[in-house]
Amino acid sequence: MEPANTFCHHGESKGGILVHLERLETQRNKSHTKSEELPRAQTSALGTKCHELRRLRDKLRAEVKQRQAAIKASDQIVEFSGQEVLERQQGTLKAILQAYHFTGLSGKLTSHGVCVSISTAFEGNLLDSYFVDLVIERPLWIHHHSIPVFIPLEKIAAKHLQTDIQRFMFSLCEHLNAYSGRKYQADRLESDFTAFLTGPLQRNSLCNLLSFTYKVNQEHQALFSARLLYEDLTGTLPTDVTVMYQGAEALSNSWEKHRLAHERLLLTKPLHQVFASFSGEENLDLNLVS
Amino acid sequence: MDETVAEFIRRTILKIPVCEMMTILKTWNFLSESQLQTVNFRQRKESLAQDLLLLCEEKCATVQDMALLDIVYTQVHRHQKLWNVFQMSKGPDEDVDLFDMEQFKISFKKILQRALKNVTVSFRDAEKNAVWIRVAWGTQYSKPNQYKPTFVVYYSQTPYAFTSSSYLKSTLPLLKQALTIASQHHQIVQMDLRSRHLDSLQAIVFKEYNQIFENHNPTPPLQERSLGLDKNMDLRIIHENTLEKERIQRVTQEAFGDYPQPQLEFAQYKLETKFKSDLGRSILANRDEPFRCLIKFSSPHLLEALKSLAPAGIADAPLSPLLTCIPSKGMNYFKIRDK
């Protein structure tokens, strides 16, 4: 800054500092009034635009923040549910494998082959299960099993095991299901219909020969003896039925009708159902014959 | 009541331990509940036997009733007899076996009675469609000896029959014939399998001893096969040979499985092989005839003992297949010859 005396020296040229400041002030005042002269509309338009832009900026900022937060959260969820989903899937698969048991034929791989499980059923009742542990080699062989000794496993294996394993399984299933079914009928007769039996039920291991004496109702002395043969080991109904009348009363026409009716019933219906019909409707027999 | 019958019943009652008396008499089902209640079971056995005999006299016990008591007693004390196993066979394409138990019994009895006039045959049905048969043997001229009967256990529609060892060797062919024909088989062969444990013999021939199967259903998890080292182990103890121990455990498990072994008392090996010696000039070596030798392993539970040999360090694992094949081959009498 020039010393004050120089200004005083050149006082006339510029007017000194104070004059300079005065000049600046007037210049400012002029520009102020000039700005006041700008159209109101333009100012407000700019203002609104500014406002608008600010709002947009805030909105974008908020959105960005939201997205970031969402990503963070979803990162966590993905981590968490990955584990859970796998476990849930594993649980479902295990349950499905266990449920295969109900289809009657299921298997599990073992270190040397496969362990097949055969579940038998009759009339919607799940009965015994049997296992066959196969070693997968050439030739296929059975490591051990839980098939009863009177089921002709060796015969079935000799026929089908090496050539057609599906047929082997199917044949074995047939035999086992039929055996279970026959056993079920015999067991039911022995347990549920003791009132009708007048002596012990004679049976054998395969339940393919049943022999028993029974009466239809308590009043009459009419006794019948029945002998059921199941020559088809894959069937649950007898192939041959002989019913003989052994009552104290003389053999009348009606008892003969009963006898024939019983023979037919026993040939066509499961054993326990026949006796259930005896305890239900007595006239069922006669209707069948006529 | 016949004197022989009375004496036999008396002797049988004296054989029965007091704690089993009630059970056996009830199973016998000859004396009624009310009759049994009149007896004092706490008195001395001789007096008890007398009382029971009087009751049997009242009911007129017959030879068949006495035989039935003998069967019941033997069923409870089956381990007192040594059991043999017979295997029967049919032709290849036989018809379906329609086994009729009554027919079997009639047929069996008829065959024996036709051959030997004096024979007592009795039957008792058992569980799983089996029948226990008791045969007391006589000759053309003498009455049956009730004190040396043969017992037979037969499961219907199976090829196996189990008989108690008989002192009378001459009766065996007739017994075999009766069994074969009555059960509608063609041939019968005695297996090289004997034991006092009838149930174990059945488990072996019916292949019921290994009932562990892998399946998807939840089963109690197989225990971590502990080598007996982990529990209560002091951490200051270090086992040097864990790898070897684990190998032995694995090999033993492969040979014997995880299931309880059937119970046999002995395994007998008859060697008819030439004597082999490292020393060149031994009296026994360089002979043409085989060196006959009999090796017999005895144990209250032979197979469990064999199973524990390798883990106990007494034998090398794997054990000789001659020892491990016993249940799978169904043999405990072996003849070994040079190849």
Looking at the domain covering B83-201, what would its CATH class be? alpha beta
Q: Considering only alpha carbons, which residue of chain A is nearest residue B211?
A: A146
Half-sphere exposure of A128 (CA within 13 A, CB side): 16
pLDDT tier, B218 (very low <50, low <70, confident <90, very high otherwise): low
Give me the residue spans of the domains in chain A: 57-181, 192-288
> Which residue in B100, B206, B214 is closest to A108 by CB distance?
B214
Q: What's the pLDDT at A95?
A: 87
CB contact under 8 A, A205 and B213: no
**Mean of pLDDT over chain A:** 84
Report the distance separating Cα B332 and Cα B200, nearest Å.
Answer: 12
Quick check: A234 and A178 in contact, CB under 8 A?
Answer: yes
Residues of A in contact with B157 (CB under 8 A): 150, 204-206
Q: What's the pLDDT at B163?
A: 96
Q: Which residues contact A113 (CB under 8 A, 6 or more apart)?
A: A133, A134, A135, A136, A137, A140, A143
- For residue B43 the two structure tokens come to 């008195």
Q: B280: helix, coil or strand?
A: coil
CB contact under 8 A, A205 and B156: yes
CB contact under 8 A, B157 and A204: yes
Residues of B in contact with A146 (CB under 8 A): 208, 211, 213
Q: Is A115 on the interface with B (CB under 8 A)?
A: yes
**Mean of pLDDT over chain B:** 88
Report the distance separating Cα A259 and Cα A114, nearest Å.
Answer: 51
Report the distance separating Cα A120 and Cα A285, nearest Å.
Answer: 31
Which residue of A204, A212, A229, A240 to mutate against B (max B Cβ within 10 Å)?
A: A204
Which residue of A101, A146, A229 to mutate against B (max B Cβ within 10 Å)?
A: A146
Pick the CATH number of A57-181 from 1.10.3210, 3.10.180, 3.30.457, 2.30.29: 3.30.457
Q: How far is CA A242 from CA A187, A227, B149, B160, in A?
A: 20, 5, 39, 30
Q: Is A128 on the interface with B (CB under 8 A)?
A: no
Q: What's the pLDDT at B216?
A: 78
3-state secondary structure chain A: CCCHHHHHHCHHHHCHHHHHHHHHHHHHHHHHHHHHCCCHHHHHHHHHHHHHHHHHHHHHHHHHHHHHHHHHHHHHHHHHHHHHHHHHHHHHHHHHHHHHHHHCEEEEECCCEEEEEEEEEECCEEEEEEEEEEECCCCCEEEEECCCCCCCHHHHHHHHCCCCHHHHHHHHHHHHHHHHHHHHHHHHHHHHCCCCECCCCECCCCCCEEEEEEECCCCCCCEEEEEEECCCCCCCCCCEEEEEECCCCCCCHHHHHHHHHHHHHHHHCCHHHHHHHHHHCCCHHHHHHC
CA distance A93 to chain B (A): 11
Q: How far is CA B281 from CA A50, A278, B107, B275, B277, in A?
A: 122, 89, 63, 12, 9
pLDDT over threshold 80, residue A287: no
Q: Is A97 on the interface with B (CB under 8 A)?
A: yes
Q: What percentage of chain A carries pLDDT values higher than 70?
A: 86
Q: What's the pLDDT at A7?
A: 45
- For residue A191 the two structure tokens come to 């347990």
Identity of the residue numbered A66: Q
Is B31 or A285 the better-scoring residue by pLDDT?
B31
pLDDT over threshold 90, residue A103: no
Quick check: B201 and B162 in contact, CB under 8 A?
Answer: yes
CB contact under 8 A, A145 and B101: no
Give me the residue spans of the domains in chain B: 3-76, 83-201, 218-337
Tokens 């894959």 correspond to A234
Give me the helices (H) in B80-130, please: 101-115
CA distance B260 to chain A (A): 15
pLDDT tens figures, B244-265: 889 999 999 988 988 999 999 9
CB contact under 8 A, A149 and B216: no
DSSP H or E run through B266: strand B266-273
pLDDT tens figures, A38-93: 667 778 888 889 999 999 999 999 999 999 888 887 777 666 677 888 899 888 98
Residues of B in contact with A199 (CB under 8 A): none
Phi, psi for B124 (deg, rounded to 5):
-140, 125
Is A4 or A266 the better-scoring residue by pLDDT?
A266
Q: Considering only alpha carbons, which residue of chain A is nearest residue B257?
A: A144
Quick check: B321 and B251 in contact, CB under 8 A?
Answer: no
> Which residue in B102, B158, B217 is closest to A205 by CB distance?
B158
pLDDT over threshold 80, residue B275: no
CB contact under 8 A, B98 and A229: yes
pLDDT tier, A35 (very low <50, low <70, confident <90, very high otherwise): low
Quick check: A237 and A267 in contact, CB under 8 A?
Answer: yes
pLDDT tier, B136 (very low <50, low <70, confident <90, very high otherwise): very high
CA distance A178 to chain B (A): 14
Identity of the residue numbered A99: A
Q: How far is CA A239 from CA A263, A265, B93, B113, in A?
A: 11, 12, 20, 35
Q: Is A112 on the interface with B (CB under 8 A)?
A: no
Which residue of A90, A149, A229, A231 to mutate against B (max B Cβ within 10 Å)?
A: A149
Per-residue pLDDT averaged across A16-31, rounded? Answer: 88
Q: What's the pLDDT at A102?
A: 80
pLDDT over threshold 70, residue B229: no
pLDDT tens figures, B64-83: 999 999 999 999 999 999 99
Residues of A in contact with B214 (CB under 8 A): 108, 110, 115, 133
Residues of A in contact with B99 (CB under 8 A): 204-206, 209
Q: B249: helix, coil or strand?
A: helix
CB atoms within 10 A of CB B235: 5
Is B151 or A278 the better-scoring residue by pLDDT?
B151
Q: How far is CA A253 from CA A225, A281, A282, in A?
A: 18, 20, 16
Tokens 């069994």 correspond to B179
Quick check: A235 and A197 in contact, CB under 8 A?
Answer: no
Q: What percentage of chain B carries pLDDT values higher than 70?
A: 93
- Kindly report the pTM of this predicted structure: 0.79
Q: In this predicted complex, what is the ipTM?
A: 0.85
CB atoms within 10 A of CB B224: 7
Report the distance separating Cα B326 and Cα B163, nearest Å.
Answer: 20
Q: B86: helix, coil or strand?
A: strand
Residues of B in contact with A117 (CB under 8 A): 213, 215
Report the distance separating Cα B297 and Cα B269, nearest Å.
Answer: 9
> Which residue in B205, B210, B218 is closest to A144 by CB distance?
B210
> Which residue in B98, B158, B215 is closest to A150 by CB distance?
B158
